[in-house]
Each structure stands twice: as structure tokens, then as C-alpha cells.
Amino acid sequence: MSSDAGSAQRGAVAIRTERLCKDYVLGAGGYGYDSLRERLTQLATAPARALSSRREQRPGGEQEQLLHALVDLSVTINEGEVVGIIGSNGAGKSTLLKVLSRITEPTSGWAEIAGRVGSLLEVGTGFHPELTGRENIFLNGAILGMRQAEIRRQFDQIVAFADIERFLETPVKRYSSGMYVRLAFSVAAHLQTEVLIVDEVLAVGDAAFQRKCLGRMDEVAREGRTVLFVSHNMAIIQSLCRRGIFLQSGRLVADGPVNEVVGKYLQSLEQTMAVDLLDRTDRRGWHRIKVSGLEIAGEDGAALASGRPARFTVRLTGLQPGTRCMLTVLNNLGQPVCEFASGTTSPEDVTVPAVVSEAAPTQFICEIEELPLVPGRYRVDVLVRGTHHTEDAIASAAMFDVAHGVLAGRPVAGHGSGDVAVPHRWIVPVS
């Protein structure tokens, strides 16, 4: 599509949803792995049940537990709009994308989409490890709905964008993960569909390639195509999208200019963090050990400041041999800044005997002598791993503000670029 045609079409509706709902049935009686036997008994007793009870009721009075992944969602998106979909884990972002890309049907309500939809919900979907890069380009293109002629026409561009010319005839199982991602994104980015749906794919790949992807998405948008984009990285959302849609528990919370919507999202994150960590439900892992608290404090309970000591305390409900903690510090826009992992050891580490009691819970303490962060607001993701499994992981478990301070004798400015302050020294000529 030429850009002229694109701008001429602007204002026409590309996607419209009306009271869109999607429920998932939880529990053994629903869409889980139920056994054939159960189903057969159900079939056999169906006539009797039809006489005696309503259809919704299950044998044995077992209640269906429904997860409302999307609730009464009505939005209209015009052609050529680039919309960022924002929300915490489990807010319904991915479900919305799945319904719109026809992978799953809505439970009620409807959606209308003008034109073809290309979706990239996961990088490398449909890649087969045994096939070569060339074969996978054609296979993946076909899976994403491209015609063979179309793929052939764009083949060189796809290969050039992914930068894998030399490895075209190599099975992708021998590719590095970076090459794999580049190739997968490249195929999807060259889809000539009117609507492009992209789910958090830029979280992978190196910074240079991320920039390249963003550039490509921008191009796609400028061609007048509609883009729906999900990311936890607010900086990417803000740079790419003009409109934001904020979902929470499957409902539309905010819809409007991207900066406003991102603001509302960040506000809601603060409210979430006010909830006791043990009461948080947006966590994953085996949960044999849970994070019960995360405390971030400066020296003697003082506020955090650049260049001053900081102390991260992770409280756990239990301990297993081999338990490790990982803290990821993200800036206010959701971009990772640095990470502290107890899994990598240093001679300076200290071990203490574990005590598990109400009064003194098990805790991992991470001490930083001179906090190398510029003034601003940060959040922390916490993850606890046992020997083999992730036990507990909570995104945005806590938030902290860093005040102005001094690092290596130099005041740290909060308005420059980047989030990290590095102690340094200049050698300056004077006349």
C-alpha cells in the first residue's frame, strides 16, 4: 500500500469491538485436561440430567469457575493508528490480541476488522529447528498468511533485515538465539497486512536490533497500516504509539493520548505496590517459598540518594537449599536498569544461619555501598529460585525514589540521559 493511499484511508475504522468478552473456564470440570471417562459418564447421564437440572450445572454440583479475561471491551481503532496496549500481567492484553488475531473466539460480543491481520504473538512461532533458514522463511511466511510469490518478492529484504545471509542453508537449530529472533521478526515485519498485531517481541534481541525493529514498526505505521502493540516497556510504547489503551482485569480503564494513559498506568502501579506482597495475586512460580516483603532503605532508614548506601531486604516465607534471589531494577518507564543476583557469588558475600520464625523471617539482604542511580523513580522486580524451579516472581514488587546526591565527590544530575551514575574523574587542561 502506498503512503498516499494510507493517508487517504485515515479515519476509516480498522478495528471495532463491541462489548467483547472472553471467559476461560478454570478447574477440572471445564476446559482443563479432563479425561474421556468423565466426559463419557457425562454423556451417558445427559438425558437424566436434562430432565432434572439446568444445563449450566455440572454433575455433582461442581461449580464452573470462570476467569473473565476480557469484560465488555468496546474500542474503535482507525486505520493508520498505532495503539499501545498497556496493563500489568493478567490484565487481558494478550487475550485481546488473541481474539483479534482469530486464534480464539470471544465468549460474547463481537469485533470487526477491516482487512488482513498479521500477528506476531511470539517470536519464532512455526519455526522448525530441523529446517534451514531459507525453508523456515517460506514456512513461517505461509503460516503468517503470506503468498509464496509475496515471500519471494520480499525474500532479499527479509534476509538483509535479519542479517543472516551466510546462514541461509543452516538448520535454525544451529542458530544463536539472536539470529533466531532477528529472522523471526524480519519475516513478520515484512507482512503486507492492513493490521499488524505485535505482542512484546522486542523484549528479546540486542539493543541495536531493537532499534531496527522500532524503526521498521514506525515505517509500517507510516505506510498507513494499523498497528496494535503490547509492551511492558513504557519508553517503547511512548516513542512508538500516539494512542494508548490501558486494561486492568480485562476492563478498559483508560483510552487516549499515549502519555496520559501511560501516566495513569504508572499511577495504578503505585497503588498495586501499596498492597501487601503476600496478598498480591499477579505472581508466578511454584510458590513453595513466597516473597513476603521487599524493603528498600538507605543508611539508618534514611531516604535513598545517589552515591549513598542502599539496602534491599527480601523477606521469604521459607528456605530451601540452593535458594537464590534476583532483583531487577527498572526505571519508571519499565526499562531494566540493573540486576542483583545472589546466584553469582563474590568473596565479599556473607552467610548467616537461617532462622524461620514469625518474628525473624528468612531474609536475603543486598547491600550497595554507593548507589549508582541518577535521581528519579525506580521499581523492582523480584524473583526467587530454588534449585530447579522459579518459586516466586513478582513484577513491580516495590518502588523507590532516589534523591539528589554525590558520587565520587561529584553531584549527580537527574536530567541527563540514562539512569546510571558512574563514579568518574576528569583530567582537564587549564590555560
What's the length of the chain?
A: 431
Size of the site for other proteins (CB under 8 A): 54
What is the Cα–Cα distance from 419 to 243, expressed in whole angstroms? Answer: 26
Give the three-state DSSP class for 276: coil
For residue 258, what are the contacts with CB-CB under 8 A and spacing of at least 6? 84, 237, 238, 241, 242, 243, 244
* C-beta of 78 vs 239, nearer to other proteins: 78
* C-beta of 224 vs 334, nearer to other proteins: 224
For position 169 contacting other proteins by CB under 8 A, the verdict is no
| Closest distance of CB 282 from other proteins, Å | 21
Give the three-state DSSP class for 298: strand
| Closest distance of CB 248 from other proteins, Å | 22
Site string for other proteins, 113-152 (x = CB under 8 A): xxxxx-x-xx--xx-x-xx---x--xx--xxxx-xx----
* C-beta of 99 vs 289, nearer to other proteins: 99
What is the Cα–Cα distance from 281 to 290, expressed in whole angstroms? Answer: 12
| Closest distance of CB 57 from other proteins, Å | 19
Spell out a b/e string for 221-254, using b for 16 or more CB atoms within 10 Å of the CB, else e: bebbbbbbbbbbbbebbbebbebbbbbbebebbb
| Closest distance of CB 31 from other proteins, Å | 5
Phi-psi region of 250 (alpha: psi -120 to 50; beta: other; left: phi over 0): left
| Closest distance of CB 52 from other proteins, Å | 23
For position 12 contacting other proteins by CB under 8 A, the verdict is yes
| Closest distance of CB 134 from other proteins, Å | 12
| Closest distance of CB 116 from other proteins, Å | 8
Beta bridge partners of 20: 73
Beta strands in 344-423 (DSSP E): 362-368, 376-385, 390-402, 406-407, 410-411
* C-beta of 110 vs 413, nearer to other proteins: 110
Spell out a b/e string for 111-139, using b for 16 or more CB atoms within 10 Å of the CB, else e: bebebebbbbbebbeebeeebebebbbbb
Q: CA nearest 300: which of 309, 291, 292?
A: 309
Q: Which of residues 55-94 bind other proteins (CB under 8 A)?
A: 78-79
Give the three-state DSSP class for 409: coil
For position 29 contacting other proteins by CB under 8 A, the verdict is no
What is the Cα–Cα distance from 92 to 248, expressed in whole angstroms? Answer: 7
Q: What is the DSSP letter of 227?
A: E
For position 286 contacting other proteins by CB under 8 A, the verdict is no
- Sign of torsion, CA 346 349 354 356? negative
Q: Is residue 120 a contact partner of residue 188, using CB atoms and an 8 Å limit?
A: yes
Q: Which of 53, 57, 102, 177 binds other proteins (CB under 8 A)?
A: 102
For position 27 contacting other proteins by CB under 8 A, the verdict is no
For position 107 contacting other proteins by CB under 8 A, the verdict is yes
* C-beta of 126 vs 318, nearer to other proteins: 126
Residue identified by cell 540518594 is 305
What is the Cα–Cα distance from 107 to 21, expressed in whole angstroms? Answer: 5
* C-beta of 17 vs 317, nearer to other proteins: 17
* C-beta of 33 vs 426, nearer to other proteins: 33
| Closest distance of CB 85 from other proteins, Å | 17
For position 98 contacting other proteins by CB under 8 A, the verdict is yes
| Closest distance of CB 102 from other proteins, Å | 4
* C-beta of 110 vs 211, nearer to other proteins: 110
What is the Cα–Cα distance from 365 to 384, expressed in whole angstroms? Answer: 13
* C-beta of 58 vs 280, nearer to other proteins: 58
The span from the first CA to the last CA of the chain, in angstroms, equals: 61
| Closest distance of CB 298 from other proteins, Å | 45
* C-beta of 119 vs 268, nearer to other proteins: 119
- Per CB under 8 A, which region of 50-58, 99-107, 156-164, 364-372 contacts other proteins? 99-107
Residues that bind other proteins (CB under 8 A): 9, 11-14, 24, 31-37, 39, 78-79, 98-117, 119, 121-122, 125-126, 128, 130-131, 135, 138-139, 142-145, 147-148, 194
